[in-house]
Amino acid sequence: MEDKIEEFKKIIDESSNIVFFGGAGVSTESGIPDFRSEDGLYNQKYDYPPEEILSHSFFMAKTEDFYKFYKDKLNSLKYEPNITHIKLAELEKKGKLKAVITQNIDGLHQKAGSKVVYEVHGSVLRNYCMKCHEFYDAEYVFSSEGIPKCSKCGGIIKPDVVLYEEGLDQDIWSGAINAIVNADTMIVAGTSLTVYPASSLLHYFHGKNLVLINKSETPFDNIASLVIHNALGKVFSNIWFLTQNML
Catalytic residue list: 121
Q: Which is nearest to 235 in space by CA: 201, 198, 190?
A: 190
CA 34 to the chain's CA centroid:
11
Which residue among 7, 134, 160, 184 contacts Zn ion (CB under 5 A)? 134
* Interface positions, 152-211, toward Zn ion (CB under 5 A): 152-153, 155
Segment contacting Zn ion (CB under 5 A): 15-23, 62-70, 133-141, 237-245? Answer: 133-141
Residue placing its CB nearer to Zn ion in the complex, 68 or 131: 131
Segment contacting Zn ion (CB under 5 A): 30-38, 114-122, 149-157, 168-176? Answer: 149-157
Q: Is 88 in the site for Zn ion (CB under 5 A)?
A: no
Which residue among 125, 129, 138, 232 contacts Zn ion (CB under 5 A)? 129
Q: Indicate the pairing of strand 122-129 with strand 157-161.
A: antiparallel
Residue placing its CB nearer to Zn ion in the complex, 128 or 173: 128
We find the least distance from the C-beta atom of residue 67 to Zn ion, in angstroms, to be: 17
Residue placing its CB nearer to Zn ion in the complex, 73 or 149: 149
C-alpha separations of 83 from 159, 221, 227 in Å: 27, 24, 20
Q: Is 9 in the site for Zn ion (CB under 5 A)?
A: no
Q: Is 150 in the site for Zn ion (CB under 5 A)?
A: yes
State how far the Cα of 158 lies from the Cα of 60, in Å rounded to an integer: 10
Q: Give the largest Cα separation in the chain, rounded.
A: 59
Residue placing its CB nearer to Zn ion in the complex, 140 or 204: 140
Total binding residues toward Zn ion, as defined by CB under 5 A: 8
We find the least distance from the C-beta atom of residue 155 to Zn ion, in angstroms, to be: 4
Residue placing its CB nearer to Zn ion in the complex, 135 or 240: 135
Q: Is 131 in the site for Zn ion (CB under 5 A)?
A: yes
Residue 77, helix vs strand vs coil: helix
Residues at the contact surface with Zn ion, assessed by CB under 5 A: 129, 131-132, 134, 150, 152-153, 155
